[in-house]
Amino acid sequence: MTKEKERIARAALAELPTEGAILLDAGSTTGRLAEQIPADRELTVVTNSAPIALTLLPRANINLMLLGGRLRTRTQATVDAWALQALEETYVDVAFIATDGVSAERGLTTPDPSEAQVKRAMIRSARRTVLLADHTKVGNDHFARFACVEEVDCVITDTGLVDGLAQELAALGPRVTTV
């Protein structure tokens, strides 16, 4: 899904504030967004992703905040109490969230309960939430739910969606953009 994820990340640039704080969840599409953040934006970026932190580390315009916690080997995301504690005291303008699955019936889901807890806290810490999900994630459900579709302000996905799925998500409230 490389081309799709690149298009989604480019479209997500429109959701970036001109200044302020954003949150980048661990994920390949959010990682693509991190690579494309304009050099003229002075942003505080909070992330639980070791790869995203390494991508942004050399950027002088970024005030980088890496969440602590247990580092999951599979996703290279920090989880558990240390990450949750930091998020309780964090407030960002926009959270860019990744997911393993999203459906109208089950909401946003992931296989790991620890990651679900952190994602839930990320959404609570944000003024606005933008979900970045390629079409292979839409219509799928996994073990741990971390949000309802109604808690998301915007869904950015690609044009490979099965007919009707974008409208189904939009009917629950978020603006759905397909690229």
pLDDT category, 175, cuts 50, 70, 90? Answer: very high
β-strands 144-147, 107-110: how paired?
antiparallel
Domains and CATH numbers, the chain: 2-178 (3.40.50.1360)
Q: Exposed/middle/buried for 100, CB within 10 Å: 0-12, 13-18, 19+?
A: buried
Among candidates 1, 71, 40, which has minimal Cα distance to 53? 71
Give 79-132 pLDDT, tens digit per residue: 999 999 999 999 999 999 999 999 999 999 999 999 999 999 999 999 999 999
Q: Give the DSSP H or E segment for 146.
A: strand 144-147
pTM above 0.85, yes or no: yes
